[in-house]
Amino acid sequence: MGKLINFPGNSKYSSEVKQLKEISDAFDEVIIKALSDQKIDPKELSALIAHRFGTLLSLVEEKSRLWKVCESIIQEQAGLKKKK
């Protein structure tokens, strides 16, 4: 299994984008390890991630607006709707 998200490799991106890439890579490593080495059920891991996402979302002021963006991304990534 490879990385789950491919961020651009160009060094001209902001430090925030670079930091997000590092976090994304760390998430990928944990998820891939859990799915392959530990034989974790993807449904259980998805539920765990949803729980953590809900907790994170509770910290945001514009919850409804962010939820709509995230819902759209989740639907596209899961193949529930066409990518734009």
- What pLDDT score was predicted for residue 68? 92
Domain boundaries, the chain: 15-77
pTM: 0.70
- What pLDDT score was predicted for residue 67? 93
Of 27, 16, 22, 77, the C-alpha closest to 52 is: 27
- What pLDDT score was predicted for residue 14? 81
Residue 73 has pLDDT above 60, yes or no: yes
The percent of residues above 90 in pLDDT, for the chain, comes to 58
| 26 within 8 A of 43, measured Cβ to Cβ | no
Task: Tell me what the mean pLDDT of segment 63-74 comes to.
Answer: 92
Residue 27 has pLDDT above 50, yes or no: yes
